Amino acid sequence: MRDSRFVRLILIIFFVLAAGYAAYEAQGLLYGPRIHLENQTFASDTSFVAIKGRAERIAELRINGKTVNVTENGEFDEPFLLAPGSNHLILEARDARGRTALETLDIVYRASEDALVPASHAADLRVSSPATTSSPATSTPESTF
């Protein structure tokens, strides 16, 4: 009698563990892709930012249509050049079954005036005190009489 209870307990534990493992593995089939971003909205004073996050259960990740490299752990770190003002990024993850997940990221780039002018032209645009203008020296033509 005691052996049959032990065998029954072992079988119950085995089937509970097997069912739990099957449920864990089925998450990819049931839930589809997922994107986790470090920040949803932020502001930047520099034109280059790094878009960082993690994606789960994906076959492909894109930012505004451009494919992004993802590590085996699902982490990504993509440099991005911002335009002055508001930048709206759309991250799209697609899994092997064609299901997609979308996340949006809004970044405000507060560009300084110096950042908007190329360095080669910055000296030309600096405001300085008005210079005194001198008229060219007038020379009287020498007469040859």
| 3 and 38 together in one domain | no
**Is residue 37, in this structure, part of any structural domain at all?**
yes
Q: Distance (Å, rounded) from C-alpha 81 to C-alpha 36?
A: 21
pLDDT at residue 128, rounded to an integer: 40
| 4 and 60 together in one domain | no
Phi and psi, residue 4, nearest 5°: -70, -35
The pTM of this model reads 0.61
CATH number at residue 107: 2.60.40.10
Give the total number of structural domains in the chain.
2
Residue 125 has pLDDT above 50, yes or no: no
* Number of residues in the chain: 145
| 17 and 52 together in one domain | no
Q: How confident is the model at residue 55 (pLDDT cuts 50, 70, 90)?
A: very high
Host domain of residue 18 = 1-31
Tokens of 5: 């209870």
Mean predicted confidence (pLDDT) in 95-118 = 82
pLDDT at residue 126, rounded to an integer: 42
